[in-house]
Amino acid sequence: MNDTTACKPVRPRALSWVWLEFLGSMNLAITLLVVIAIASVIGTVLQQNQPYPDYVLKFGPFWFEVFRQLGLYDVYGTGWFIGILAFLILSTSVCIYRQAPILWREMTRFRTQVRLDSLRGFHHEAEWRLPNYAVDAVQETVGQMLRGRGYRWRVEDHGDHRVMAASKGRFSRLGYLCTHAAVVVIGVGGLLDGNLWLKLKEWRGDLRIETRNLAARDLPPESRLAPGAVPAFRGNVMLPEGTAANFVFLRVRDGFVLQELPFAIELKDFQVAYYDTGQPKSFASEVLIHDQEHLGDQPLAATIRVNHPLVYRGYAIYQSDFGDGGSRLDLRAWPLMASRPDPIAAQGTVGNTLKVGSQDAALTMELDEFRLFNLLPEPSAQPGDRKFRNFGPSFAFKLRDATGVAHEYFNYMAPAQLEGRWFYISGMRAQPGQPFTYLHIPADAKNSPERFLRFNARLRNKEWLRSLLERSPAPSDNPDFQRDFNQVRLNLIELFAQGGFMAVTERAKAVVPAERLNDATTLYLNILRDTLAEVFI
């Protein structure tokens, strides 16, 4: 070797070759898979695409904003997730591009050009000398043995020696290609299902996410998508029985867009079958497809069941959920803290909102659901009994204040008999994941809550209470004693209205010496019970 050869510079590799090495590396693919797996776990644990006020209520304003900036409320549709997924598809495709020709050669070619020194370099190798056997006889014997064990083999004569090459299980190498191809196919499906096309339109300014509570007919053109505008989407629309729609809503972050359909779907009837236990057994939707272009005036009738969608013109139509589709409710609301028993009348449709309260304390009433039947376990049933009772119709709603904090309510509309008495039942919870706590309102002889509500309002009407106490018989002729006694009764009623009997006993503990506490508490409770009886009657 001369000096010229020793100092010859190493030729730099082409940039394209470096990129192929980087994109096709196993470490990169594994890293991307791990990141996607972690993001998928987050998307599974954290419920996706819920209304933003629910997230604020659950995490608080600070963490809500942190998670929103990270895109955790729609993980599979965030730019960083789509970017990582696209990078994984590219990396896996490069692996297939680089390895497929090599694997094909290994599957279709026999290594009959190998040298003897190369064979001796194999880790598993053995060498024999057979001077007493002819070459053809050895070849025939070895060939029969290989054929009997499922090998394919070829022989090439090199003049001074022959090379016999055998292979078995050549199609096992297809597992590598199929696995990588599956990653590509799944990744492409994830891109199509991840609102990629919506994001591209939004980035170009062709689409605007609508965040206002508008009806479909009021949406501006920039918040609408024509049929075929995106190759794939996942949307939903609520259809009451007897109504039709030619669009679906696509939820995007804290808003939505409207995707138009090239046909209309009409819900003729929705049926629910129940087991003896009261659990739903099956759901079936009788639908009609109206498509003037392809069907003319004759609609297509079909039945959609669980796991049996209707596929029409490439659109798969599923039953995603069931509930009230827009029943009109006539409501009467009794404020339990008011001094008058007069109810507030309101009308609304399930799925819509109502404004209630004054301007200073404005509340939004969100009508969520109406149920005609409520099959629930019998409260008096023993463990193991399969007794159920229909508690009648109910409706659910939320009361949300100006800060976005909501309380959820579930009211049964018919009285229920519990332990021999009849009650109207109203449930309330402050957090979506919490169980409901129930208020039992006694029903009167007319199966109405009005007598209790009138009694409750009287407890807060001081003028009416003073008038009642002034008319009630006095325990003494002394005017001063009667005035003081009536004031004590008013104070006891006020405490009871605020916190029940517990508030009265706690007040007694605060003002009465310990040695006289039991007698004083008994006296207070007796006076209170007699007074409440007068108020109730």
Higher-confidence residue of 125 and 71: namely: 71
Candidates 274, 283, 281; CA nearest to 309 is 283
Contacts (Cβ under 8 Å, ≥6 apart) of 398: 365, 366, 368, 406, 407, 408, 409
Q: Decide: 130 and 138 in contact? Cβ < 8 Å.
A: yes
Q: What pLDDT does residue 4 have?
A: 46
Q: What pLDDT does residue 57 have?
A: 80
pLDDT digits (tens, 9 = 90+) for 41-54: 988 888 887 888 88
pLDDT digits (tens, 9 = 90+) for 360-389: 667 889 998 898 888 787 777 676 677 778
- Tokens for 350, please give them: 């399930």
Give the model's confidence band at 320: pLDDT under 50 very low, under 70 low, under 90 confident, else very high. confident
Candidates 301, 303, 297; CA nearest to 289 is 301
Higher-confidence residue of 114 and 255: namely: 255
Higher-confidence residue of 311 and 148: namely: 311
Write down the mean pLDDT value for the chain: 85
Candidates 486, 517, 485, 515; CA nearest to 504 is 517
Q: What pLDDT does residue 8 have?
A: 47
Contacts (Cβ under 8 Å, ≥6 apart) of 215: none
Give the model's confidence band at 356: pLDDT under 50 very low, under 70 low, under 90 confident, else very high. confident
Higher-confidence residue of 476 and 410: namely: 410
Q: Decide: 267 and 243 in contact? Cβ < 8 Å.
A: yes
Proportion of the chain above pLDDT 70, given as a percent: 94
pLDDT digits (tens, 9 = 90+) for 183-228: 999 988 888 777 778 888 888 888 998 988 888 889 999 999 999 8
Paired with 308 in beta bridges are 305
Across 319-328, 379-388, 476-485, 506-515, least confident range: 379-388
Q: What pLDDT does residue 222 have?
A: 93
Element (DSSP H or E) covering residue 291:
none
pLDDT digits (tens, 9 = 90+) for 73-112: 888 888 888 889 988 999 999 888 888 888 888 777 777 7
Query: Which range among 22-36, 380-394, 445-459 has the greatest average pLDDT?
Result: 445-459
Query: Per-residue pLDDT for 474 more than 80?
Result: no
- Tokens for 448, please give them: 């109405």
What is the rounded CA–CA span in Å between residue 378 and residue 431?
A: 26
Across 357-375, b (16+ Cβ under 10 Å) vs e yields eeeeeebbbbbbebbeebb
Query: Per-residue pLDDT for 323 more than 50?
Result: yes
Q: What pLDDT does residue 5 have?
A: 45
Q: What separation in angstroms does the CA of 218 have from each of 212, 228, 257, 258, 348?
A: 10, 22, 12, 11, 20
Q: Decide: 426 and 437 in contact? Cβ < 8 Å.
A: no
Domain limits, the chain: 15-194, 209-317, 328-453, 462-536
Q: How far, rounded to the nearest angstrom, does the alpha carbon of residue 528 sit from its chain's CA centroid?
A: 50
Mean pLDDT on 221-250: 91
Give the model's confidence band at 55: pLDDT under 50 very low, under 70 low, under 90 confident, else very high. confident
Q: What is the dihedral of CA 88, 93, 98, 103, to 10 degrees?
A: 110
Our CA angle for 234, 239, 243, nearest 5°, is 130
pLDDT digits (tens, 9 = 90+) for 383-438: 667 777 888 899 999 998 888 888 999 999 999 988 889 999 999 998 877 899 99
Q: How far, rounded to the nearest angstrom, does the alpha carbon of residue 103 sit from its chain's CA centroid?
A: 44
- pTM confidence score: 0.58
E strand residue ranges, 158-254: 162-167, 224-225, 244-252
Proportion of the chain above pLDDT 90, given as a percent: 29
What is the rounded CA–CA span in Å between residue 33 and residue 27?
A: 10
Q: What pLDDT does residue 3 have?
A: 47
Query: Per-residue pLDDT for 277 more than 70?
Result: no
Q: Decide: 168 and 150 in contact? Cβ < 8 Å.
A: yes
- Tokens for 312, please give them: 């029409």
Chain position carrying tokens 């006095």: 474
Q: What separation in angstroms does the CA of 455 have from each of 136, 184, 468, 534?
A: 113, 70, 13, 10
Give the model's confidence band at 302: pLDDT under 50 very low, under 70 low, under 90 confident, else very high. very high
**SS3 category, 256:** strand
